[in-house]
Amino acid sequence: MHCGSLERHRLTWLYFRNRTDLFDKPPKKMLHVAPEAVFHKLFRRLPGDAYITADLYDPKAMRKMDITNIDDPDETYDVIYCSHVLEHVPDDREAIREFFRVLKPEGWAILLVPITADKTFEDLSVTDPAERTRLFGQPDHVRVYGPDFVDRLRDAGFIVTVTSPSDMLSSDEAVRMGINHEAGQIYYCRKT
Protein backbone atom coordinates (compact mmCIF):
# COMPACT_ATOMS: atom_id res chain seq x y z
CA MET A 1 0.00 0.00 0.00
CA HIS A 2 1.25 3.51 -0.85
CA CYS A 3 0.11 6.84 0.55
CA GLY A 4 0.72 8.75 -2.70
CA SER A 5 3.02 11.29 -1.07
CA LEU A 6 6.50 12.22 -2.20
CA GLU A 7 9.53 11.95 0.09
CA ARG A 8 9.55 15.71 0.63
CA HIS A 9 5.89 15.59 1.69
CA ARG A 10 6.55 12.90 4.29
CA LEU A 11 9.54 14.79 5.67
CA THR A 12 7.66 18.08 5.77
CA TRP A 13 4.65 16.48 7.49
CA LEU A 14 6.96 15.09 10.19
CA TYR A 15 8.43 18.54 10.60
CA PHE A 16 4.99 20.17 10.89
CA ARG A 17 3.89 17.61 13.48
CA ASN A 18 7.06 17.34 15.54
CA ARG A 19 8.81 20.69 15.27
CA THR A 20 6.11 23.36 14.90
CA ASP A 21 3.12 24.70 16.79
CA LEU A 22 0.80 24.58 13.75
CA PHE A 23 -1.83 22.42 15.42
CA ASP A 24 -1.64 24.07 18.85
CA LYS A 25 -4.38 26.41 20.02
CA PRO A 26 -5.26 29.08 19.21
CA PRO A 27 -5.57 28.29 15.50
CA LYS A 28 -2.88 29.73 13.24
CA LYS A 29 -3.85 31.69 10.15
CA MET A 30 -2.01 29.79 7.42
CA LEU A 31 -1.26 30.67 3.80
CA HIS A 32 -0.58 27.60 1.66
CA VAL A 33 0.80 28.56 -1.76
CA ALA A 34 0.17 26.17 -4.67
CA PRO A 35 -1.47 23.65 -2.35
CA GLU A 36 -0.53 20.03 -2.79
CA ALA A 37 -3.55 17.74 -2.49
CA VAL A 38 -1.82 15.55 0.11
CA PHE A 39 -1.51 18.53 2.48
CA HIS A 40 -4.70 20.35 1.54
CA LYS A 41 -6.74 17.49 2.98
CA LEU A 42 -4.85 17.69 6.28
CA PHE A 43 -4.63 21.46 6.64
CA ARG A 44 -8.23 22.22 5.81
CA ARG A 45 -9.06 20.70 9.20
CA LEU A 46 -7.78 23.92 10.75
CA PRO A 47 -10.83 25.67 12.21
CA GLY A 48 -12.75 28.53 10.63
CA ASP A 49 -10.95 30.67 8.09
CA ALA A 50 -7.53 29.81 9.50
CA TYR A 51 -6.41 27.98 6.34
CA ILE A 52 -6.14 29.80 3.01
CA THR A 53 -4.91 28.34 -0.25
CA ALA A 54 -3.55 30.52 -3.02
CA ASP A 55 -2.27 30.03 -6.53
CA LEU A 56 -1.79 32.25 -9.55
CA TYR A 57 -3.28 29.74 -12.01
CA ASP A 58 -5.13 26.92 -10.21
CA PRO A 59 -8.87 27.70 -10.09
CA LYS A 60 -9.30 25.25 -7.18
CA ALA A 61 -7.29 27.52 -4.87
CA MET A 62 -9.31 29.73 -2.54
CA ARG A 63 -7.55 32.86 -3.78
CA LYS A 64 -5.78 33.87 -6.96
CA MET A 65 -2.47 35.29 -5.80
CA ASP A 66 0.70 36.68 -7.33
CA ILE A 67 3.23 36.01 -4.58
CA THR A 68 5.40 38.88 -5.80
CA ASN A 69 2.54 41.27 -5.00
CA ILE A 70 0.40 39.79 -2.22
CA ASP A 71 -2.84 41.67 -1.71
CA ASP A 72 -2.86 41.36 2.08
CA PRO A 73 -1.83 43.83 4.76
CA ASP A 74 1.45 43.53 6.61
CA GLU A 75 1.58 40.86 9.30
CA THR A 76 -1.50 38.89 8.16
CA TYR A 77 -0.35 35.27 8.55
CA ASP A 78 0.98 33.16 11.41
CA VAL A 79 2.25 30.47 9.02
CA ILE A 80 3.23 30.41 5.36
CA TYR A 81 3.97 27.20 3.50
CA CYS A 82 5.34 27.36 -0.04
CA SER A 83 6.95 24.28 -1.56
CA HIS A 84 8.60 23.97 -4.95
CA VAL A 85 7.14 27.20 -6.31
CA LEU A 86 9.93 29.78 -6.22
CA GLU A 87 11.91 28.08 -9.01
CA HIS A 88 8.99 29.02 -11.30
CA VAL A 89 8.88 32.70 -10.25
CA PRO A 90 11.01 35.18 -12.23
CA ASP A 91 11.46 37.53 -9.25
CA ASP A 92 11.80 35.03 -6.42
CA ARG A 93 13.52 37.62 -4.21
CA GLU A 94 10.43 39.84 -4.36
CA ALA A 95 8.22 36.86 -3.49
CA ILE A 96 10.42 36.07 -0.48
CA ARG A 97 10.23 39.74 0.63
CA GLU A 98 6.44 39.59 0.30
CA PHE A 99 6.31 36.48 2.47
CA PHE A 100 8.37 38.32 5.08
CA ARG A 101 6.05 41.33 4.89
CA VAL A 102 2.79 39.43 5.36
CA LEU A 103 4.12 37.16 8.12
CA LYS A 104 3.28 38.17 11.69
CA PRO A 105 6.25 39.07 13.93
CA GLU A 106 6.07 35.76 15.83
CA GLY A 107 5.05 33.78 12.73
CA TRP A 108 7.06 31.30 10.73
CA ALA A 109 7.30 30.05 7.18
CA ILE A 110 8.49 26.87 5.54
CA LEU A 111 9.82 27.75 2.10
CA LEU A 112 11.10 24.79 0.09
CA VAL A 113 12.84 24.59 -3.25
CA PRO A 114 14.67 21.75 -5.00
CA ILE A 115 18.41 22.08 -4.40
CA THR A 116 19.97 20.61 -7.53
CA ALA A 117 23.09 22.71 -8.13
CA ASP A 118 26.25 23.66 -6.27
CA LYS A 119 25.25 27.32 -6.59
CA THR A 120 22.03 29.03 -7.66
CA PHE A 121 21.95 29.73 -11.40
CA GLU A 122 19.33 31.71 -13.26
CA ASP A 123 19.04 33.37 -16.64
CA LEU A 124 15.71 35.09 -17.19
CA SER A 125 16.55 35.70 -20.84
CA VAL A 126 16.09 31.96 -21.49
CA THR A 127 12.50 31.46 -22.61
CA ASP A 128 12.73 28.45 -24.93
CA PRO A 129 11.14 25.44 -23.16
CA ALA A 130 13.76 23.01 -24.44
CA GLU A 131 16.61 25.24 -23.27
CA ARG A 132 14.94 25.78 -19.90
CA THR A 133 14.63 22.02 -19.53
CA ARG A 134 18.30 21.61 -20.38
CA LEU A 135 19.44 24.35 -17.98
CA PHE A 136 16.88 24.21 -15.18
CA GLY A 137 15.38 20.70 -15.36
CA GLN A 138 11.84 21.66 -16.45
CA PRO A 139 10.39 23.92 -19.14
CA ASP A 140 8.61 26.09 -16.56
CA HIS A 141 11.61 26.60 -14.23
CA VAL A 142 13.60 29.82 -14.43
CA ARG A 143 16.49 28.79 -12.17
CA VAL A 144 18.15 25.99 -10.30
CA TYR A 145 18.96 26.50 -6.64
CA GLY A 146 22.05 25.62 -4.71
CA PRO A 147 22.63 25.64 -0.95
CA ASP A 148 23.02 29.44 -1.21
CA PHE A 149 19.19 29.58 -1.34
CA VAL A 150 19.42 30.23 2.39
CA ASP A 151 21.18 33.54 1.60
CA ARG A 152 18.16 34.73 -0.38
CA LEU A 153 15.96 34.00 2.62
CA ARG A 154 18.31 35.82 4.99
CA ASP A 155 18.61 38.78 2.60
CA ALA A 156 14.84 39.28 2.98
CA GLY A 157 15.24 39.43 6.77
CA PHE A 158 14.44 35.87 7.77
CA ILE A 159 16.25 33.95 10.48
CA VAL A 160 16.62 30.51 8.91
CA THR A 161 17.03 27.06 10.41
CA VAL A 162 17.94 24.35 7.91
CA THR A 163 16.94 20.79 8.81
CA SER A 164 18.00 17.68 6.90
CA PRO A 165 16.31 14.27 7.09
CA SER A 166 19.24 12.99 9.19
CA ASP A 167 18.53 15.72 11.77
CA MET A 168 15.07 14.24 12.38
CA LEU A 169 15.33 10.53 11.68
CA SER A 170 17.61 7.62 12.42
CA SER A 171 18.75 5.56 9.45
CA ASP A 172 16.21 2.86 10.30
CA GLU A 173 13.36 5.37 10.61
CA ALA A 174 14.30 6.96 7.30
CA VAL A 175 14.24 3.59 5.54
CA ARG A 176 10.92 2.62 7.15
CA MET A 177 9.34 5.95 6.10
CA GLY A 178 10.87 5.96 2.64
CA ILE A 179 12.79 9.18 3.21
CA ASN A 180 16.31 9.72 1.98
CA HIS A 181 18.49 12.68 1.00
CA GLU A 182 16.25 13.32 -2.02
CA ALA A 183 13.55 14.55 0.37
CA GLY A 184 15.59 17.75 0.50
CA GLN A 185 15.94 20.09 3.41
CA ILE A 186 13.44 22.06 5.44
CA TYR A 187 13.98 25.83 5.46
CA TYR A 188 12.20 27.09 8.57
CA CYS A 189 12.04 30.88 8.50
CA ARG A 190 11.20 33.27 11.33
CA LYS A 191 11.07 37.04 11.56
CA THR A 192 12.31 37.21 15.15
DSSP string, 71-114: -S-TT-EEEEEEES-GGG-TTHHHHHHHHHHHEEEEEEEEEE--
Give the angle 107-4-85 at the CA atoms, nearest 5°. Answer: 45
Q: Which residues pair with 112 in a beta bridge?
A: 83
The sheet carrying 77-83 orders its strands as 63-64, 51-55, 30-33, 77-83, 103-112, 186-190, 159-163
Q: Which residue has the higher pLDDT, 47 or 8?
A: 8
Query: Can you list the domains of the chain with their CATH numbers?
Result: 7-186 (3.40.50.150)
What are the φ and ψ backbone dihedral angles of 75, each rounded to 5 degrees? 55, 50
The confidence band for 156, taking pLDDT boundaries of 50, 70 and 90, is very high
Burial of 75 (0-12, 13-18, 19+ CB in 10 A): middle
CA distances from 89 to 5, 76, 113, 186 (A): 24, 22, 11, 19
Q: What is the pLDDT of residues 74-113, one digit of tens each?
A: 999 999 999 999 999 999 999 999 999 999 999 999 999 9
The confidence band for 1, taking pLDDT boundaries of 50, 70 and 90, is very low
pLDDT of residue 4: 55
Other beta carbons within 10 angstroms of residue 157's beta carbon come to 15
